[in-house]
Amino acid sequence: NSVGEACTELKREYDQCFNRWFAEKFLRGESAGDPCGQLFKRYQLCVQKAIKEKDIPIEGLEFMGPSKGKTENSS
């Protein structure tokens, strides 16, 4: 299940798409393209909305994109 009940079906659709792509394409050397990108974006927006609605604190987490002002160490 997803963080938001309304997002669970989108999560399942994305998971199925990704697993199919991974097994049928990526593992066979066909890594070009992003067939699940639009599904992921829809799911991501749904999760972001659910997080805001549930007032879940997410400060310090970077799973929704890079933090502004942070630099990567190049060691």
Tell me the domain boundaries of the chain. Answer: 6-54
On whether the CB atoms of residues 10 and 2 are closer than 8 A, the answer is yes
Residue 16 pLDDT greater than 90, yes or no: yes
pTM, 2 dp: 0.69
pLDDT band at 67 (very low <50, low <70, confident <90, very high): very low
Token couple for 44: 């991501």
Output the average pLDDT for the chain. 81
Residue 61, pLDDT score: 57
- Taking residues 52-59, report their average pLDDT: 79
